[in-house]
Structure 1
Amino acid sequence: MTTVPELYRARAAEGHLTPDPAQEDALPELERIRAALANPPRRGLFRRAPEPPKGLYLWGGVGRGKSMLMDLFVETLTVPARRVHFHAFMQEIQAGIHRLRQQGQDDPIRQVAASVAHSVKVLAFDEMQITDIADAMIVGRLFEQLFERGCVVVTTSNRAPDDLYKDGLNRQLFLPFIDLIKMRLVVHRLSSDKDYRQDRLTGAQVYFTPADAGARKAIDKIWQDLTGGHEETLTLTVKGRAVELPRYHNGVARARFYDLCGHALGPADYLALTEAVRVLVLEDIPRLSRRNFNDARRFVTLIDALYEAKVRLIASAADAPESLYVEGRGSFEFERTASRLREMMAEGWGG
């Protein structure tokens, strides 16, 4: 049986990670949970089932290794566990509640929670954040039900619990969930000063032209380095619209230009994307003109959203930024977008 610290040291010895004191400080909390789940106290004949161990809320800046630690933790578990992006999990929950309501079921939150708890013992969430009022209104009761059924929650977040859903609509109704987190999870800050995700891109080319086989090969290498070969599809639902990121892992997304700019998306959709993603790989940006003006307009909006949110961009395009849109309505305004693309290509930009 491998412990979390043992696996961490093994990966460091193999060169797959660089030992970091802040990461090592978090290992005892993860190991505490693993050991308690692997060796639960025995239930007496007339005693209630033992309480599960407290979970963990691991928070800190982007690129500090939180998700990597989560992966190691899940790898050591011997009980049923599910590793999932928090936003994707809440979308599943909302869909389940909606389906049960349509069937006329009473208390759909309770039934959905029971279904989840029946299939897993540990829920390992990546990037807990609450931006949707629909999520904010149900998450407290949902997690009460999960905890009552013995689920152990381990989650990463870029925010301290008190900053979740900050300035959100009807936030006072959400505050009991923050209290529940503090009661049922150990809150641990990963306070490393090093951003490993940025380090991987230091000195690397991030804009490739033309968008040919050579560009794809170079981007494939960057993608493998950033994700370790792990990926899933992440679908963001914004005002009833689906924004699909075909390839996603640990805050890094990969999509083609048409995926994000060839559909009727707008500022709210791109804002949701920037809340879920810290690095975006955008491939096959074409030359733009009056023929694809709507795509060009959406591309400008997307770049503005990425720029304001300091999301790192890795891109392949048909031409240099200044030559992407040289004629047609809006080409003059595109000069600002080209300038922003140049700035985003600079080493050390973003964070």
Structure 2
Amino acid sequence: MKTNTMMNTMIAQPRVARRCLSTGPVTAAYELKVEAGEVRRDDAQVALAAKFDALHESLTSLPPVRTDDLTKNSSTISSALLLILSRSLASAQSFFRKKFHLWSFGPPPRGIYIHGPVGVGKSFLMDLFYESVTVPDNNSCRNNDSHKHTKITKRRVHFHEFMLDVHHRIFAYKQEHPRGDAIPVIAQQLAQEAQLLCFDEFQVTDVADAMILKRLFSLLISDWNVVVVATSNRSPDALYEGGINRSLFLPFIDMLKDTFDIISMEDSQKDYRLESRADGQSYFWSNKDMQGDNNINNNIQAQLEEIFGSTASKTEAESISVLFGRTVEVARLNDQCAWFDFSELCYQPLGASDYISLCRRFPVIIMERVPQLDANHLNEARRFVTLIDACYESRTRLVLAAQVPLDELVGFYPYFTDTAIKRHTMPRRSVYDQTKKIFPGI
């Protein structure tokens, strides 16, 4: 018996060693979670983990970030000339490196763009990759440090928050340099802060963002060698579909397809969040006015009050600070929860920065009187999508009291011209995709 135990131990040790040495850090971390019963092995996820392992290995060829400063004295004529010269030299350097493969650190790593339905593991795998890019403490196999690590700076951010940050930087730059070009300076700042950028929920719904992205990403990738990883519910060709002046955005899509490895998980229809769905109802509906005196509405109100807590009527209104010196008013709240009418959050001119600030303040948000989101509520639907996105990223619980069942929340749009159909289809798909994040199973 003792001999058999020793033999099993001798066989097991090489097997563990082989796994540590033969797989990359992302696959190794994924397999540990599978063995721990935290996830079930999925072929698409295994393939994506291997792709991330390859990118992790290629990060060793990433050239160091230049240290030249484009922000000092940028309002003077001499500095403007230096700025133009620096950009020209950087562009020329980038051209010759690409043309003649003159990368002293090897070819620049390609970014990864992953698209597919919600709940298939896109963000989960990207987070495993992000965690693997770190400075090693020792050479122990147990900590996956037998894999080659790279000392590079990194940033993982929700795409809404990233664009808010970019707009804030543009605003701050323009305050000091009203006639200056902010984008090259911001690209430099971002590159010197993080050589690896990981975006969750990459999507474009705003014309201002669409116009910024092409120049900003071109500079980040071509001139500053920033590696970008992004997850999205949409393929590159579906980005900003039906948007205003989309033709001006198409070069960005072409650049995305030229410089990124595009990975589709569209065939992965299994929503793994359903297996770990949290207890507690978060969606209520009644086709009666919520003030109506009937048993259904009374029951819904009672459940909302229970979720809200016992301090509902005792807490004073609060102003939540938002970027650019703005505030969002919350009339009904307690320490853990804010209660809104749909009109307060989606009829008002609010955006991602407002919703992100609310989610940072409150673990739970209740919103009642949610109508069916049809062609009569296009702007409201866009805001609703942004709110859900913010709740999902911050893990804020969103509780809805609506006027229709969940599977009817996204209404059908009437027939318009071809262009109008495209513009009406975008928010409908966005609402459907984003709603599935918070309420799996629809």
Secondary structure of 1:156's counterpart equals: strand
- After TM superposition, the score normalised by the length of structure 1 is 0.66
Write out aligned runs for 1:84-95 (5 A): 84-95=157-168
Write out aligned runs for 1:310-349 (5 A): 310=432, 311-312=435-436, 348=441
Q: Which residue of 2 aligns with 1:24?
A: 46
Which of 206, 209, 214 is 1:140 aligned to? 214
The separation in 2 between residues aligned to 1:133 and 1:193, in whole angstroms, is 31
Moved more, 145-154 or 99-108: 99-108
Secondary structure of 2:355's counterpart equals: strand
Aligned-residue CA RMSD (Å): 3.8
Amino acid at match of 2:365: A
Structure (1 or 2) with the larger CA radius of gyration: 2
Gaps of 5+ in 1: 217-234, 261-265, 286-298, 315-343
Q: Displacement, 1:63?
A: 1.1
Q: Which residue of 1 aligns with 2:359?
A: 247
Secondary structure of 1:277's counterpart equals: helix
The separation in 1 between residues aligned to 2:239 and 2:114, in whole angstroms, is 13
Show CA shifts across 1:264-287 (max 9, x none).
xx96355233256366833597xx
Amino acid at match of 1:23: Q
Q: Displacement, 1:12?
A: 1.1
1:83–1:124 CA contact under 8 A, matched in 2? yes
Amino acid at match of 2:47: D
2:202–2:231 CA contact under 8 A, matched in 1? yes
Q: Displacement, 1:40?
A: 2.6
The separation in 2 between residues aligned to 1:180 and 1:92, in whole angstroms, is 23
Q: Which residue of 2 aligns with 1:15?
A: 37
2:203–2:232 CA contact under 8 A, matched in 1? yes
Amino acid at match of 1:24: V
The separation in 1 between residues aligned to 2:165 and 2:62, in whole angstroms, is 33
Amino acid at match of 2:251: P
Q: Which residue of 1 aligns with 2:268?
A: 192
Which of 161, 168, 175 is 2:243 aligned to? 168
Indicate whether 1:153 and 2:228 are aligned: yes
The separation in 1 between residues aligned to 2:408 and 2:206, in whole angstroms, is 18
Q: Displacement, 1:211?
A: 4.0
Which of 184, 198, 219 is 1:124 aligned to? 198
The separation in 1 between residues aligned to 2:244 and 2:230, in whole angstroms, is 24
Show CA shifts across 1:284-310 (max 9, x none).
97xxxxxxxxxxxxx769x99954434
Q: Displacement, 1:198?
A: 3.6
Change (3 A) 1:247 1:305: farther
Q: Displacement, 1:118?
A: 0.3
Change (3 A) 1:159 1:276: farther
Amino acid at match of 2:397: V
The separation in 2 between residues aligned to 1:96 and 1:138, in whole angstroms, is 12
Show CA shifts across 1:175-200 (max 9, x none).
11011111111001123120122443
Amino acid at match of 1:180: M
Show CA shifts across 1:62-110 (max 9, x none).
1111010111010100222111111110111112112212222622011
Q: Displacement, 1:206?
A: 3.9
Q: Displacement, 1:17?
A: 1.4
The separation in 2 between residues aligned to 1:52 and 1:213, in whole angstroms, is 55
The separation in 2 between residues aligned to 1:204 and 1:300, in whole angstroms, is 20
Q: Displacement, 1:243?
A: 3.2
1:124–1:153 CA contact under 8 A, matched in 2? yes
Change (3 A) 1:115 1:100: same
Amino acid at match of 2:225: G
The separation in 2 between residues aligned to 1:41 and 1:112, in whole angstroms, is 20
Amino acid at match of 2:61: P
> How many residue pairs are counted as aligned between the two chains?
273
Amino acid at match of 1:139: L
Gaps of 5+ in 2: 1-19, 65-101, 135-151, 284-299, 310-344, 371-376, 412-430
Amino acid at match of 2:398: L
The separation in 1 between residues aligned to 2:213 and 2:364, in whole angstroms, is 29
Which of 4, 17, 33 is 2:55 aligned to? 33
Show CA shifts across 1:11-54 (max 9, x none).
111122121111111112111111111x33799xx965544310
In terms of fraction of residues, the more strand-rich structure is: 1
Secondary structure of 1:243's counterpart equals: helix
